Amino acid sequence: MVREVRITKTEPLRIDESDIDPKYGDIAICQCGLSDDRPFCDGSHKRTDDEMEGVIYRYTETDRKVVESLTLTEEEI
């Protein structure tokens, strides 16, 4: 599966012991690209549970759409 993810940050985020989740005792980093608390996981990945292999998805705040085709320019490759 493929997700369109747009990232606006251009610098690293340093994490430390204050970022440890008091309930779980860990630091969960978002890997789906949908978290509103990036780079930390907020559970948004649950929206991707039924994604199908070979399909491109675009997520909005309220829904998910299938992208029919994705074309990249030379600069984006």
- 30-44 pLDDT, tens digit per residue, is 888 889 888 889 999
Q: Where are the domains of the chain?
A: 1-7+18-77
- Whether 57 contacts 65, CB under 8 Å: yes
Q: Give the dihedral sign, CA 63/68/73/74.
A: positive
pLDDT computed for residue 55 by the predictor: 87
Rounded Cα gap, residues 27 and 29, in angstroms: 6
Q: Where are the beta strands (DSSP E) in the chain?
A: 2-3, 56-59, 64-67
- 60-72 pLDDT, tens digit per residue, is 888 898 988 878 7
Q: Whole-angstrom distance between the N-terminal and C-terminal Cα of the chain? A: 18
